[in-house]
Structure 1
Amino acid sequence: MAIDVLSQSAVEIAEKINSRVVLFLEAPPKEIESRILSNTELTVVVIGPVFDVRNRRLIRLSIPLTLDRESVLNLVSAFLLEQGLIKEGESFVYVSSSEIGIRPVKRNLFAVNGFFSQSRSVVQKLLEIAIELSIEGREGHPIGTIFVVGDVKNVMKHSHSMLPNPFKGHKINVLDRNSKEIIKEFAQLDGAFIVSSRGRILAAGVYLEVDPKSLDLRLPPGLGSRHIAAAGITKLTKATAISLSESGTIRIFKNGMMLLEYNPRMKY
């Protein structure tokens, strides 16, 4: 079985380079997990439908499967740094049913401290919706929008409504099965969605009051105003922001830094 052979090779590589983590990009058989945990001191990280971080040696992360490989590795790197499971400059080994690789970690590429917090499932769901909007648009037209998740009180202090709030008095939650089409419909409005850490949509069509000149934003050149606003609000608050440009590019920001950049329309 290919994954069995590759997993053994991944363990040997990890031990040779003094790595502390082996990442499975797809869930291996349980006996492989058990064997690694019993015979080594490595931490095993598995990408799949389950999120479970209670066991520090066997960690399960749910990351959208529609993301490209680079984005998945970026998110895992951010998690490992955030949880203190790996240090800047160290590497982890990743393995799938067809490949093995070594991933060095550089802190300045990632925004950590809270991305995989209580709002994790909310951010994941909004990321999935952003990917669908990037690919499909709305009624044949490209869509650009921002989702701001968490730290709602402070976000509201740095924003104002551009139109009557369509979600006022309604308890619509992004985790509800029937909310996706509603979110996609209102994504056509200018401005941002404000979403609580538990997923309730509090407002849409919100203007984010961000002055990038007064903030120390560590961003790559060439970003448009939508992405800069998304980055800025995460610098001013503890929120996480997902921005979608009309070109289809999705970016996630935390602490004023870009954690992920991905365009589902492009082939990587």
Structure 2
Amino acid sequence: MRENGYAEVLLKKALELTRRLDAKALVIIGIKLKKPLKVSVPILLVGKEVDNHNSLKTLPLPLSLGTKNLVNLASSFMIAEGMIEEGEIFIYVTPSTLGIRKAKKTVEVKDEFFSQIEHVFQEVLELAIELSLEGREGKPVGTIFVIGDTKNVMKYSHQMAPNPFKGYKINILDKESKEIIKEFAFLDGAFVISKSGRVLCAGRYLDIDFKRVSVNIPSGLGSRHLAAAGISKVTKAIAITVSESGIVRVFKDGKIIFEYNPRLH
């Protein structure tokens, strides 16, 4: 049986379980629906390329996060959206797995994270996760991606080294661009990416005066995280950091709204 055949069987079983166990929600991960589902509970579709049926709730996250983390994020999202109460049962299904979970906030994620999910953000987050897992030439790499509000980001930063992207139209939404971006992840400083996905520069030093700017991050985090928090505080940009230990963090308004270590899952 082909994989999509398994998905159809598992989806049918998920619907049966939802009814039999009186589950309060159904989470469908990475499966494209061919027709509307007949179920009385809220349905959440998870994945970057999910098709929305009858205005179902969607959570367009990269599947590279892995089932465990996608389920945890779906749980947090449904609680935040009022789709389910903490402690209630929900069913989740992927093209190869089926499971039962109690709704619980288990991922370090703030409600603001979910409102940032759009195509450019998805691609940068996925790239950050790939860098965490792969590094560069097999070695750990740390970097910063700053997305959006580029006019102000450029105002609060300066170039540390010649900009390798100057004069080129490299866009994060083009799949082949990811390998190009990875090649420059070794540069000190940040990548600056426009809201449309164009990579404006790499090796950008973020100039934040912390005597005037107050940010809310845990003690022990280094200058990379401080800079990311600072630029997200003084501009409307979102910053994503990859630490050499593999932790991916998302910053908005000077605070961490998402924290995840792909190497642990």
Aligned sequence identity (%): 45
Aligned residue identity for 1:86: G
Number of aligned residue pairs: 251
Deviation at 1:168, TM superposition (A): 1.7
Distance change in 2, residues 1:89/1:7 (3 Å): closer
Q: Sort the Cα spacing of 1:168 and 1:111 in 2 relative to 1 into closer, same or farther, 3 A.
A: farther
Deviation larger for 4-13 or 143-152: 4-13
Q: Which residue, 117, 130, 133 being the options, matches 1:132?
A: 130
For the residues of structure 2 that align with 1:169 and 1:6, how far apart are their CA atoms? 51
Other-structure match for 1:100 = 100
1:22 Cα deviation from its structure 2 partner: 3.4
Tell me the distance in 2 between the aligned counterparts of 1:54 and 1:241: 32
Residue number in structure 2 paired with 1:86: 82
- 1:1-268 alignment to 2 at 5 Å? 1=9, 3-10=11-18, 13-15=22-24, 21-27=25-31, 30=34, 33-36=36-39, 40=40, 42-51=41-50, 55-56=54-55, 58-69=56-67, 71-73=69-71, 75-76=73-74, 85-86=81-82, 93-96=90-93, 97-104=97-104, 109-112=109-112, 114-116=115-117, 120-212=118-210, 214-266=212-264, 268=265
Q: Distance in 2 between matches of 1:87 and 1:203?
A: 41
- The whole-number CA distance in structure 2 between the counterparts of 1:212 and 1:111 is 26
Residues 167, 204 of structure 1: 8 Å contact kept: yes
CA distance in 2, matches of 1:75, 1:152: 29
SS of match in other structure, 2:176: helix
Cα distance, 1:59 vs. partner? 3.0
1:110 is matched by which residue type in structure 2? Answer: K
State the SS of the aligned residue for 2:153: helix
Provide the rounded CA distance (Å) in 1 between the counterparts of 2:208 and 2:51: 35
TM-score with structure 2 setting the length: 0.78
Structure 1 residues 160 and 29 mapped into 2: Cα distance closer, same or farther (>3 Å)?
closer
User: 3-state DSSP class of the match of 2:168?
Assistant: coil
**Residue 100 of structure 1: how far off its partner (Å):** 1.4
CA contact (8 A) 1:52 1:59 kept: no
Q: Residues of 2 paired with 1:88 and 1:234: CA distance?
A: 31
Match of 2:221, SS state, is: coil
Structure 1 unpaired stretches of 5+? 16-20
1:183-216 per-residue CA deviation (whole Å, 9 max, x = no partner) reads 0111110000000011101111011123456445
Q: Give, as a single letter, the amino acid of the residue that structure 1 aligns with 2:150.
A: V
The CA deviation at 1:49 is 4.3
- State whether residues 174 and 199 of structure 1, in contact with CA within 8 Å, keep that contact through their aligned partners in structure 2: yes
Per-residue deviation, residues 127-186 of structure 1 (Å, max 9, x unmatched):
222222222222233211111111111212221111222222211111113212210111
Query: Conserved in 2, the CA contact under 8 Å of 1:166 and 1:204?
Result: yes
Once the two structures are superposed, residues 210-239 of structure 1 have per-residue CA deviations (whole angstroms, 9 ceiling, x without a partner) of: 345644533333222212221222222221
Kept after mapping to 1: 8 A contact 2:32/2:51: no
Say if 1:244 and 1:251, in contact at 8 Å, map to a contact too: yes
Query: Letter of the aligned partner of 1:250 in structure 2?
Result: V
Counterpart CA distance in 1 for 2:18 and 2:230 is 40
1:45 and 1:231, CA in 2 relative to 1: closer, same or farther beyond 3 A?
same
Whole-angstrom CA distance in 2 between matches of 1:68 and 1:244: 18
